[in-house]
Amino acid sequence: MKQAIIDLGTNTFHLLIAEGAGSTQQILFRESLPAKIGQAGINQGIIAEEAIGRALGVLTYFRQVLHRFGIKPEHVVAIGTSAIRVAHNQQEFIDRVRQETGLSIRVISGDEEAAYIYQGIRAAGALSEQTGLVIDIGGGSVEFILGNQSRIFWKQSFEIGGQRLLDRFMTGTPASTDPISPGNIRRLNNYFQEQLLPLANAIHQYQPNGVIGSSGSFDTLVDMWYMHDKGHLPDPNQPTFDLPIQEFYRSYELLITKTHAERRQLPGMIELRVDMIVVAVCLIDYILKTYGLTQIKTSTYSLKEGVLASL
């Protein structure tokens, strides 16, 4: 039987189509497209009209793909995350999507989101017997999970995603905020320290041996590493990578010192991530330095694969 999952992220919408059951599932189709439903409204708790238009455009295209695979809209699991979760006009958005595409959105809590991300990371084979710190940096929220391949010890979702950080710390004219200033990086770090107190306590208790980065910006960091080191992109079917810490810092230095136009030209960069990756690497740098972590594993699997694994 074919299964379709749509992850309606704050920045990106993802469609995954698989066939089979349990561990024998075969991925038939996957695509990620920018919808940017958090733009111009996420910190005010609304999905702006233009953002609804972009969402409907992407979902209409996904409907055509689903039709091609013979999957009816009522058999699709469509998951709404941070931007939809906090939107005052959540119901209006859900109703319009249903009217125009036939898709029913299920909005999940931050806690459920973290649990699905853990399932996805585990399905990728990115976890071992040792405790790791899973980080999923979305546009609206960031999920932190402390666990190993057998279980979760602690998890929490924080509403400090990339789009929120961009709106808060990199607004104004591009010339005044791009590249990001050392002052803004300091302000970001102070903000992380203030927001992530529960994480500090959990890390002290569970002592992870490294970071496991879930898709998104971590995928782009792996692409940048491969392009620099090997001159080609990684195998799209490989689900996990060990990103050398020195490679992370090579990319970090490039990303915080270049303008939007210069970042676009970096080998391995994609348009979708040109701005959000700046605040994402600032967060990763903060976590690595604050907690003395020196290992980074990445997983191309995340929420949608976790939903698939749990079906």
The CATH number given to whatever domain includes residue 166 is 3.30.420.150
Question: Do 150 and 232 belong together in one domain?
Answer: yes
Q: Percent of the chain at pLDDT above 70? A: 97
93 belongs to a structural domain: yes
What is the token pair recorded at 273? 């991530």
pLDDT of residue 170 exceeding 90: no
Task: Assign 3-class secondary structure to 63-118.
Answer: HHHHHHCCCCHHHEEEEECHHHHCCCCHHHHHHHHHHHHCCCEEECCHHHHHHHHH
Note the helical H segments in 133-266.
162-169, 174-177, 182-195, 197-206, 217-229, 245-257, 260-264
Task: State the CATH number of the domain containing residue 72.
Answer: 3.30.420.40
- Residue 79: predicted pLDDT: 97
Q: Which amino acid appears at position 65 of this protein?
A: V
116 belongs to a structural domain: no
Range of the domain at 197: 125-307
Query: What's the pTM value of the predicted model, to 2 decimals?
Result: 0.94
Q: What gap in Å lies between CA 170 and CA 174, rounded to an integer?
A: 8
Question: Do 206 and 77 belong together in one domain?
Answer: no
**pLDDT digit string, tens, across residues 280-308:** 999 999 999 999 999 999 999 999 999 99
Q: Chain-wide mean pLDDT for the chain?
A: 94
Bridge partners of 4, per DSSP, are: 17, 76
Instruction: Report the pLDDT averaged over residues 216-240.
Output: 97
- Residue 172: predicted pLDDT: 56
Phi-psi label, residue 176: left if phi above 0, alpha if psi -120 to 50, beta otherwise: alpha
pLDDT of residue 176 exceeding 70: no
Q: What gap in Å lies between CA 152 and CA 116, rounded to an integer?
A: 11
Q: Which residue has the higher pLDDT, 169 or 177?
A: 169
Question: Do 73 and 176 belong together in one domain?
Answer: no
pLDDT class of 74 with cuts at 50, 70, 90: confident
pLDDT of residue 205 exceeding 60: yes
Q: What gap in Å lies between CA 133 and CA 307, rounded to an integer?
A: 20
Question: Do 268 and 294 belong together in one domain?
Answer: yes
Report yes or no: 35 and 55 within 8 Å, Cβ to Cβ. yes
Instruction: Report the pLDDT averaged over residues 71-80.
Output: 94
- Residue 108: predicted pLDDT: 97
Structural domains of the chain, count: 2
Instruction: Report the pLDDT averaged over residues 13-31.
Output: 87
195 belongs to a structural domain: yes
- Residue 187: predicted pLDDT: 96
